[in-house]
Amino acid sequence: MRRTIFGLKLFVNGKFGKPSEFIFPIFIMGFSVFFLCWFILIRNNVGYIVNKIEKGLSARVFLQDEITEERAEEILKRLKTLHEIEYVELVSKEKAKEEFAHYFPEIAEALGNDNPFPISIYIRLKKTTNSSENLLKQLNEIPGVKEVVYQRELFNSFKKLRVSIDYLGSFLSIIFFIASAVIIGNLILIHIAARKEEIYLLYILGARDDFIFTPFIIFSIFFSLIGATIGILFFKLSILIAEYLKGKFLPTNQLENENLFVILGLSILVGLIATIISTGRYSYEI
């Protein structure tokens, strides 16, 4: 412990670069964290919308044209037994025509006595139901069912959007964090180079790598944390500004504290890896 404290004392009193050297690594780490926060927020919101669509989804189960009323009743009873389904209603051919006539009276009048509408069952899923899409696909396989119609396009487009956001956001986040790591690593290398003679002397006097490089690791963690904290503060500020200008614009507009701690941890990890690579590279040159 005394050794570590002395190492820190040596480090703190040693040569430091210009303050401007520290601004860019802090800025890039801050920007990476800011971007990551927004990415997670948008991802959470799209996920929230997908979830909302999925839960409480309603659908129409169209039965085959030649189906008998008895078979239709059997299917209705079977659907009622499914615990994921909240409400079930058999829509007869006549009722279907009535519904149609309500919305499109002129076309319904033109149909005259013809009734091309099939018997169907209207269902509404419980709000707690997960993986509704799978359930609806299973309904398709019940003998006598012709087709299950639901808001597939909306549902699928949001799902695709979520996947796209995942890929793009993850890719850009990785790029930004790699850039942060490279820049922090370079800052560390500059500081090691500035203290080359001192480090050389310490090695000759019998210092171990951990004595020499622990202060650099603490230094990079400190800078990563400052950058990450600034990034998070700017993220919070940007939410406040956006809400002030546009009102509440996202269904869920806050990141959980756990998310923020993970982001802080990630930034520390990035700084740590960058420093270990830089110091490791350097230590073998001596």
Q: CB 139: neighbour CB atoms within 10 A? A: 20
Q: Residue 202 or residue 264: which is nearer to another protein going by CB?
A: 202
Q: Helices marked H in 55-131 — which ranges?
A: 69-81, 93-103, 105-111
Q: Residue 253 or residue 283: which is nearer to another protein going by CB?
A: 283
Which neighbouring-strand residues pair with 88?
Answer: 123
CB of 12 to another protein, least distance (A): 9
Which neighbouring-strand residues pair with 89?
Answer: 122
CB of 278 to another protein, least distance (A): 18
Listing from the earlier edge strand, what are the strands of the sheet with 58-63? 85-91, 120-125, 58-63, 145-150
In whole angstroms, what separates CA 112 from the centre of its chain? 53
CB of 21 to another protein, least distance (A): 20
CB of 10 to another protein, least distance (A): 7
In the structure, how many helices (H) and strands (E) does the chain have?
10, 4
Per CB under 8 A, residues contacting another protein are: 2-3, 6, 10, 13-14, 197-198, 201-209, 211, 284
CB of 5 to another protein, least distance (A): 10
Q: Residue 205 or residue 245: which is nearer to another protein going by CB?
A: 205
**Does residue 250 sit in helix, strand or coil?**
coil
Side chain identity at residue 275, one-letter code: T
Q: Residue 3 or residue 77: which is nearer to another protein going by CB?
A: 3
Q: Residue 19 or residue 206: which is nearer to another protein going by CB?
A: 206
